[in-house]
Amino acid sequence: MKLDLSSLDTVNRELGGHGESLLAWALQLDQRAVVTTSFSPFSGVILHMATQLRPTLPVLWMDSGYNTPETYRYADALTKQLRLNLTIVHPRRSRAHREAVDGDIPQLGTAGFEAFTNEVKLEPFERGMAELAPKVWITGVRAEETAERAKMQPVSLNPDGLVKVAPLLGWNARQLHEYLQRHGLPNNFDYFDPTKLDDKRECGLHLAH
């Protein structure tokens, strides 16, 4: 696979607003691909869309250990319904271990919070990606979620050559809800991300990558 910025501009212009078509293009690159998930609200859309095209596509979940009970039930339900080829990565320390030594989640904006984010999300992500070694990274992020994501392109090329694809970047909540209803998929609204604390804050995953 050899992609340059000019070819990505063409793909973004022609396919950027068409989720299924963009996803099909990404998978037709015939390279190792992975789709990441947090099992947050509407996660079923990208997971269903991707596995309809490639049922055995690897799915990577960074389980921080701080998820709500409903999120764990949602993850199990979707995994069974879609027969996900799921890989789960955890922090090197369990939540109980970390809290026994370091206490509760650090205050937002402190060095301790940045270290916490790295421990429970960024390092597990790097480890999981190294294990799966994809050339194509499919993500369900959307432009309306944060200011940083609003600046993203549907397809981008990382400095290391990883092709990052966001088929749902331009979708809104209504479109996502209608997709779930159309395909009989569950949803999850009892979700908590300990690395964000504010719905409009980036956890760092899509800033570093």
Q: Which residues are catalytic?
A: 203
* C-alpha separations of 139 from 102, 105, 110, 156 in Å: 32, 26, 28, 12
Q: According to DSSP H, which parts of 16-68 are helical?
A: 19-27, 43-53
Tokens of 86: 């799921």
* Cα gap 133→136, rounded to integer Å: 9
| 164 neighbors 31 (Cβ within 8 angstroms) | no
Q: Is 117 exposed, middle or buried (0-12, 13-18, 19+ CB in 10 A)?
A: buried
* Cα gap 182→206, rounded to integer Å: 29
| 125 neighbors 62 (Cβ within 8 angstroms) | yes
Counted residue by residue, the chain has a size of 209
